[in-house]
Amino acid sequence: MSTNGTLSLALPSGRNRGYVEVGAGSLINGAIGVMVAYGHMPTGMLLTLRMAVAAVILAVPFVLFRHWHEVWQPGVPLRLLSLGLVVAVNLILYFVSIRYAGVAVAIFLSYMAPLYLAVLAPLFLKERTERVVWIALGISVVGMLAIVLPGAFAGGANFSVLGVTAGIGAGFGYTGCLLLRKKLRPRVTSATIVLSESTCTALAVLPLGLWEINAGHYVFTGTDMLMAVLLGTLTTALSFTLFVHGMRYIKVQHSSIIGYLEPVSAPLYALLFLGQRPSPWTVLGGALIIVAGVFLVVFGKAEEELYG
C-alpha cells in the first residue's frame, strides 16, 4: 500500500523497468509483418539489409563509447560469435518452416521457446522454474493456439516433415539465443550484443539474398529500401536492444513469455495500416496472452539485480 492510500504492486527496483523494456521491444517487433507486406524484396535480401542497417546504427555507439574492450574479455568473443550464428540459424530455419509448413505452423513452433526454457534454464543458468511460470506458459500456449490454429486450417497448413522439423529447430534456436544473451548480459552492453547478432546474421544470409535477387531478376525499389531501413532501425536496432537490456532485470523465462506480446500486437498493426480485421479467435488468444503476462508480473518472483 502506498503512502497516499492507493494500491501498489511494490515491484522491486529495476524489475518494472525490465518488464517494460522487454514488453516494448516485443510490441515494436509486431510491426515486422506490416513492413514486409508493404515491400516486395526477396526475403533473404530483405533480412540481410535489415540486419546490415541495424549493424551500422549500433556500430556508432560501439565506436564512440569505445565498447570494444567488452569484446576482448575472456570467453566473450566465442560467446558473441556463437550467439550471432545461433540467431542466423534460427532465422533461416524459421523461413524454411514458413515455406514448407506455412506461416501459422512456423510461428507456433518457433514460439515454443518458453517451454524449452522452462526445462533448460535450470540446467544452464541455475534459474529455478517457478510454478507461476508453468501457469503463465500454459495460458500463453492456449492463447497462441487460438491465434494460429484457425488460420492454419483455413489456409491449408502443410505439416511436412521438413517444415515441422525446421520450426522445432527455430524454437530451439531462439531458446539458445535467449540463454546466450542472458549469459553475456552481465559483461557486455545490450547494444554490443545486438551489434554482434546483426553482423553475423547479415553475413550468414547474404549469399541467400544474392541468389534470390539473381534468380528472380529483382530490381531494388525506393519502397523496398525504405522498409529495409525501417526494419533495421525500429524492429532490430531499437527493439532488440530494448529487449536485451530489459533481460538484465528479469528472469530469462519471464522475458520469453513477455515476448509473446509480439504476435499479439501484429494483428493490431495489420488493422491500423492494412485494414485487416482480426478474427474473434485472434482477439481471444491475444487476451489470454496478456492475462498470462499480467499474472507473471504480479506473482512472479524477482531476480536479484546483480549487474547494477
The reported pLDDT for the residue numbered 165 is 93
Return the higher-pLDDT residue of 158 and 80.
80
- Tens digits of residue pLDDT in 78-114: 999 999 899 989 988 988 888 788 777 888 888 899 9
Provide, rounded to the nearest whole percent, the portion of the chain with pLDDT above 70.
91
* pLDDT for residue 16: 87
Length of the chain: 308
pLDDT in tens, 31-76: 998 998 888 999 899 999 999 999 999 999 999 988 888 888 898 9
Task: Name the pTM for this structure.
Answer: 0.89
C-alpha cell at 230: 525501417
Strand boundaries in the chain, DSSP class E:
none
Per-residue pLDDT of 245-275, as tens digits, reads 999 899 999 999 999 999 899 999 989 998 9
pLDDT for the residue 214: 94
Residue 158 has pLDDT above 90, yes or no: no
Q: Which three cell numbers stand for residue 147?
A: 491465434
The CA distances from residue 46 to 57, 67, 130, 293, in Å, are: 17, 28, 39, 31
- Summarize the confidence of residues 303-307 as an average pLDDT: 48
- The radius of gyration of the chain's CA atoms, rounded to the nearest angstrom, is 19
